[in-house]
């Protein structure tokens, strides 16, 4: 009889270290996804090894998250920060060192689950060399991303080629929203098997405190009108749209209006430069005295910040999923988000928040004002958001969906549709 207790899976996240601080440049949703999925799968009885590239000599090679779940940092290229597009150069070293580690430890993996295209390349190698079933999650699609940037990087052709190979050759690709699935078939390849399993969030961490307690603990006035952004400092995140919208708000002259822009940055790096640029715009607009930059918000403080806010704004130009939206919803805070990608799946317009055209300053200002002007409606939107997250986006539910998928692939069964815990789970 098949015994799930003994099944080991290798999760590959070459550039997104699941054991690193979240919220800095290049450390965002993917890191959270890999860490939380790994831990939740281990809690379901899988042995989970999460492989990432060693990027700092100060960090330990192995981080144990739970008895059966660990991060393993693989030596490939300099032990320093390298932008994701440059990491691909060290792909063969990564595969070689990973295989050596696997032989040395005598582990037989049953399946490999890769994250982002660089890891997808690694997964295709492991699929071939070790005859492993491969599951792939894109996190971001080159075909979508390159539509919204002015300069196309050198690595673009390689990325598009690898992304196509992943869709056509992986045993299953996981789309985190129906919108992402549609993009894959439209822009990447007509072929390939796709299962829809969303990203999740920690429903026990978020939503524990109410607004008034959160404000008290953060030292915020109870009558403040708080607009929050949480995320990386990256132009594509649209923070500029948010600050310009605040400047057009009807509450612009009211001293109760406060804006919090939370996220880490490093001076001189691209996120540090973006933060400086945003601070410059804030100063130019004359809203510095009401705008706060708390820096990277620690995981344990995040629930306070979300709960304290009247509205959380996600103004991304594009967003494949957008964890911040469901974290805010889990905290009962209404969301004003760009009407793009995964946000169209997570945020239900007029029910858990408002969806507005990306980069449209007036539309963002109008949506923020509607929520600030109607506090009891805001509370209602927040309650609906919490219900939606509990039903669709818990990590346990996500891990259940993935476990079912892994089992089917390991047993070489195929699936038409497997209902479970409200998780959308379908294959095409
Ligand atoms: N984050 C955090 N502290 C911060 C800023 C961001 O913990 O100061 C986390 C945030 O809570 C979320 C993740 O970073 O879990 C960002 O994920 P998202 O999918 O929204 O965006 P990405 O970074 O993947 O583009």
Residues 96-138 have pLDDT tens digits of 999 999 999 999 999 999 999 999 999 999 999 999 999 999 9
Atom of ligand 1 nearest to the CA of 28: 23
Enumerate the domain spans of the chain: 4-200+394-410, 211-392
Q: Is 34 in the pocket of ligand 1 (CB under 6 A)?
A: no
176: pLDDT strictly greater than 50: yes
Same-fold call for 4-200+394-410 versus 211-392: yes
Q: Is 325 in the pocket of ligand 1 (CB under 6 A)?
A: no
**Mutation test of ligand 1: which of 24, 26, 232 has the most ligand atoms closer than 8 Å to its C-beta?**
232
Tokens (6 digits) for 420 = 């479970």
Atom of ligand 1 nearest to the CA of 199: 19
Q: Is 299 in the pocket of ligand 1 (CB under 6 A)?
A: yes
- Residue nearest (by alpha carbon) to ligand 1 atom 9: 23
Name the band, by pLDDT with cuts 50, 70 and 90, for residue 26.
Answer: low
Residue 249 Cα to ligand 1 midpoint, Å, equals 26
| 77-91, 111-125, 228-242: segment of lowest average pLDDT | 77-91
Atom of ligand 1 nearest to the CA of 324: 20
Name the band, by pLDDT with cuts 50, 70 and 90, for residue 148.
Answer: confident
Average pLDDT score over the chain: 92
- Residue nearest (by alpha carbon) to ligand 1 atom 11: 324
Question: Do residues 320 and 283 make contact, with C-beta atoms less than 8 angstroms apart?
Answer: no
The answer to pTM > 0.85 is yes
424: pLDDT strictly greater than 50: no
Annotate 22-44 with b (16+ C-beta within 10 A) or e (fewer): bbbbbbbbbbbbbbbbbbbbbee
Query: Per-residue pLDDT tens for 195-219?
Result: 999 999 999 999 999 999 999 999 9
| pLDDT at residue number 6 | 64
Spatial strand order in the sheet of 291-295 = 291-295, 257-262, 225-230, 311-314, 335-338, 353-356
Atom of ligand 1 nearest to the CA of 299: 7
Tell me the percentage of the chain whose pLDDT exceeds 70: 93
Q: Is 29 in the pocket of ligand 1 (CB under 6 A)?
A: yes
Q: Is 342 in the pocket of ligand 1 (CB under 6 A)?
A: no
Name the band, by pLDDT with cuts 50, 70 and 90, for residue 146.
Answer: confident
Residue 16 Cα to ligand 1 midpoint, Å, equals 12
Q: Is 118 in the pocket of ligand 1 (CB under 6 A)?
A: no
426: pLDDT strictly greater than 60: no
Residue 262 Cα to ligand 1 midpoint, Å, equals 10
Query: Per-residue pLDDT tens for 339-396?
Result: 999 999 999 999 999 999 999 999 999 999 999 999 999 999 999 999 999 999 999 9
Q: Is 264 in the pocket of ligand 1 (CB under 6 A)?
A: yes
Tokens (6 digits) for 50 = 């999460």
What residues have CB less than 8 Å from 19, skipping those under 6 apart? 35, 50, 52, 59, 63, 65, 71
Report d(CA 232, CA 307) in Å as an integer.
20
- What average pLDDT does this structure show over 160-171? 98
- What average pLDDT does this structure show over 164-176? 98
Q: Is 166 in the pocket of ligand 1 (CB under 6 A)?
A: no
233: pLDDT strictly greater than 50: yes
Q: Is 23 in the pocket of ligand 1 (CB under 6 A)?
A: yes
Cα–Cα separations (whole angstroms), residue 386 to 40, 381, 383, 391: 20, 9, 5, 9
Q: Is 238 in the pocket of ligand 1 (CB under 6 A)?
A: no
Residue 7 Cα to ligand 1 midpoint, Å, equals 30
Report d(CA 408, CA 133) in Å as an integer.
10
User: Which has more confidence, 71 or 23?
Assistant: 71
| pLDDT at residue number 121 | 98
Q: Say yes or no: domain 4-200+394-410 is CATH 3.40.1170.20.
A: no
399: pLDDT strictly greater than 90: yes
50: pLDDT strictly greater than 70: yes
Q: Say yes or no: domain 211-392 is CATH 3.40.50.300.
A: no
Report d(CA 74, CA 79) in Å as an integer.
10
| pLDDT at residue number 412 | 74
Residue 414 Cα to ligand 1 midpoint, Å, equals 34
**Which of 142, 114, 132 has its CA nearest to residue 34?**
114
Burial of 380 (0-12, 13-18, 19+ CB in 10 A): middle
Locate tokens 């890999």: which residue?
34
Q: Is 28 in the pocket of ligand 1 (CB under 6 A)?
A: yes
């Amino acid at each position: 009889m098949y015994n799930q207790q003994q099944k080991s899976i290798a999760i590959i996240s070459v550039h997104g270290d699941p054991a690193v601080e979240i919220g800095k440049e290049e450390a965002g949703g993917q890191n959270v996804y890999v860490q939380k999925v790994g831990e939740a799968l281990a809690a379901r009885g899988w042995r989970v090894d999460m492989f990432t590239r060693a990027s700092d000599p100060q960090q330990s090679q192995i981080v144990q998250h739970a008895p059966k779940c660990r991060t393993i940092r693989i030596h490939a290229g300099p032990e320093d920060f390298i932008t994701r597009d440059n990491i691909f150069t060290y792909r063969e070293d990564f595969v070689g060192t990973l295989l050596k580690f696997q032989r040395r430890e005598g582990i037989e993996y049953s399946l490999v689950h890769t994250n982002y295209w660089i890891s997808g390349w690694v997964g295709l190698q492991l699929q071939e060399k070790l005859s492993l079933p491969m599951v792939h999650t894109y996190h971001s699609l080159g075909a979508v991303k390159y539509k919204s940037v002015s300069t196309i990087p050198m690595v673009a052709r390689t990325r598009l080629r690898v992304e196509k190979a992943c869709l056509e050759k992986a045993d299953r690709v996981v789309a985190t929203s129906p919108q992402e699935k549609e993009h894959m078939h439209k822009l990447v390849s007509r072929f390939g098997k796709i299962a829809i399993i969303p990203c999740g969030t920690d429903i026990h961490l978020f939503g524990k405190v109410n607004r008034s307690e959160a404000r008290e603990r953060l030292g915020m006035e109870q009558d403040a009108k708080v607009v929050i952004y949480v995320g990386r400092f990256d132009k594509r995140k649209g923070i500029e749209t948010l600050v310009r919208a605040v400047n057009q708000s009807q509450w612009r002259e009211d001293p109760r209006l406060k804006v919090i822009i939370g996220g880490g940055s490093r001076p001189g790096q691209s996120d540090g430069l973006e933060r400086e640029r945003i601070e410059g715009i804030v100063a130019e607009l004359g809203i510095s005295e009401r705008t706060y930059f708390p820096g990277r918000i620690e995981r344990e403080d995040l629930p306070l910040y979300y709960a304290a806010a009247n509205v959380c704004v996600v103004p991304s130009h594009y967003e494949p999923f957008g964890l911040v939206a469901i974290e805010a919803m889990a905290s009962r805070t209404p969301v004003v988000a760009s009407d793009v990608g995964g946000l169209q799946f997570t945020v239900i317009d007029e029910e858990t928040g408002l969806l507005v055209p990306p980069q449209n300053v007036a539309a963002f200002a109008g949506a923020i004002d509607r929520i600030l002007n109607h506090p009891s409606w805001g509370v209602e939107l927040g309650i609906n958001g919490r219900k939606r997250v509990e039903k669709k986006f818990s990590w346990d539910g996500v891990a259940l969906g993935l476990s079912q998928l892994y089992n089917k692939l390991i047993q070489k069964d195929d699936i038409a549709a497997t209902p479970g815990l409200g998780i959308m789970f379908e294959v095409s």
